[in-house]
Amino acid sequence: MGMMLGERVRAAVAALMQITGETQSDLATVLGVSQAQLSRRQSGSAAWSLDDCDALAMHYGLDVLDLLAGPTRACESLPTARRRRPMTGRRAPEAGAAKRAAR
């Protein structure tokens, strides 16, 4: 049996937060709730409302059905501009400069 709707939304939100680099506090602001209220929704002790889902989908630039479909579809549908830039493995310029200055 597949995930229930609430589980799909929680998993999609967690995946979207990961791929965009957003925090619970960021999303709480978007929804007009406290970080604690958002945490309860993410833990499953409180339910996501339809209004929450609409607001999240709008925030991420998704169709609400993509959000409700779960993490894979939500992440695949996320506009490229909303994705956090990947780390390239290069050191930040200031870190390299500080190391050279220490020599």
What's the rounded mean pLDDT across residues 24-40? 96
Q: What is the pLDDT of residue 78?
A: 95
Q: Of residues 86 and 73, which shows the higher confidence score?
A: 73
Confidence category of residue 93, pLDDT binned at 50, 70, 90: low
Please say if the pLDDT value at position 51 is more than 80: yes
What 8-state DSSP symbol labels residue 61? T
The residue with tokens 């049996």 is 1
* Nearest CA among 58, 62, 59 for reference residue 70: 62
In angstroms, rounded to a whole number, what is the distance separating the alpha carbons of residues 80 and 99? 35
